[in-house]
Amino acid sequence: MARRLQLSPGSLSRLTAPLIAGGLLREVGEHNDGRVGRPTRLLDMDVDAKHFVGMKLRGNEIIAARTNLRGEIQQHRSVQIHDRSPKTVIGQIADLAKQVSEGLDIDGLGIGIGGLIRDREYVVDARFLGWSDLPLARLVGEATGIPTLVDNDLVAFTEYEHWFGEGREDDRFAVVTLGVGTGFGLVANGAIVTGDDYGIGLVGHWPLDPTGPLCFAGHRGCATSVLNSDAIARHVAEALNRPVDFEGALDLAADGNPAARRVIDDAGRGLGRLLAAICNLTLPQRIIIAGEGVRLAYIASEAIHAGIAADRDPRATTPPIVLGTKDNVDWCRGAAVLAIQAYVHGKLPVVG
């Protein structure tokens, strides 16, 4: 279905011709829904015409994936970080890029990092790696020969959802990630909302429960103390007086263990209040919850909706809340989208 969005058929021919010649678009058969007349020639992007690599840097691990033009993962691999010095890590990045490319030509490399990044190039501050003021994109570009872009991992993840994920139809949506930290990303008026502070972790100590436990920084019932997977595991372990990890805590809650249920529901209610705040301030058309700890949102669904209801006007409509996977490779798709966007916009940096 060659839908001509606001474009005359003449212009469409003119514009698609070079893309077909260049191998980016391809005719994929014909379509005729029983009506009279010549059938339409279906055009589809040849999403495998180009390849990109996305990587997520964590404190002790690099995850890498090769994707096509749509951010779909074709190959992935990870490696442990033992030495956090930029030189060593950049060497590991270059090796990993070579491994996941499998000899294919890579058009761009995107890297997502939890921290403060400037201009999709400089790591201003990434404390979990001990890095600051590092021109990472240029260094990796030189080491790999691939045009490279860097950004905050949540920016990258949000861009993925915006271009190819659950938010692709929306002009306005929010992303919340659960795990060892709580992340937030926002798209409004068709573009991601960022600022100089982005990457500090602005919702990490959001007050969720005035009667909740204290976090290390002294906030009562903040996201870190109520919602983080470590905190949840710890609270359940303390209640049961035996070691429990995050997944174990969720299992117990799902099986009806009252102590675990209470901790999980407190977390769910807190998350709901955060979602209510997001809805009240940013009026999203959709909320996407993802991250390693997303299973919490599946198990505490009722508590989440109770938390939302507590802080919203009863007349307000709550947008659909979609839950993603806990797969860590998803972060790589986000990182790859940084490169895909630069490719599409003709903004890929020149290497060498």
Binding site for DNA (CB under 7 A): 2, 6-17, 30, 32, 35-41
User: Token digits for 89?
Assistant: 């890590």
Q: Which does 2 bind (CB under 5 to 8 A by kind): DNA, a copy of itself, none?
A: DNA
- Tell me how far, at minimum, the Cβ of 125 lies from a copy of itself, in Å: 9
Nearer Cβ to a copy of itself (52/184)? 184
Nearer Cβ to DNA (45/73)? 45
Q: What is the DSSP string of 98-113?
A: HHHHTTPPP-EEEEEE
C-beta atoms surrounding 28 within 10 Å: 12
CB within 8 Å of 244: residues ≥ 6 apart? 233, 236, 237, 252, 260
Q: Which does 258 bind (CB under 5 to 8 A by kind): a copy of itself, DNA, none?
A: none
- Tell me how far, at minimum, the Cβ of 314 lies from a copy of itself, in Å: 9
Q: Which does 80 bind (CB under 5 to 8 A by kind): DNA, a copy of itself, none?
A: none
Q: Which does 111 bind (CB under 5 to 8 A by kind): DNA, a copy of itself, none?
A: none
Nearer Cβ to a copy of itself (107/266)? 266
Q: Which does 282 bind (CB under 5 to 8 A by kind): a copy of itself, DNA, none?
A: a copy of itself
Q: Which does 3 bind (CB under 5 to 8 A by kind): DNA, a copy of itself, none?
A: none
User: ∠ CA 235-199-249 to the nearest 5 degrees?
Assistant: 20
Phi, psi of 222 (to 5 degrees): -85, 175
User: Token digits for 157?
Assistant: 């993840």
Give dist(CA 251, CA 133) in Å, integer.
42
Closest CA to 26 of 69, 78, 77: 69
H/E element, 187: strand 183-188
User: Is residue 177 within 8 Å of residue 291, measured between CB atoms?
Assistant: yes
Nearer Cβ to a copy of itself (78/282)? 282
- Tell me how far, at minimum, the Cβ of 24 lies from DNA, in Å: 15
Nearer Cβ to DNA (19/240)? 19
Give dist(CA 169, CA 179) in Å, integer.
26
- Tell me how far, at minimum, the Cβ of 282 lies from a copy of itself, in Å: 6
Interface residues toward a copy of itself, by CB under 8 A: 172, 184, 186, 188-191, 193-198, 200-207, 210-211, 273, 277-285, 311-313, 315-317
Closest CA to 71 of 151, 175, 164: 164
Nearer Cβ to a copy of itself (189/241)? 189
User: Looking at the chain, how many residues does it have?
Assistant: 352
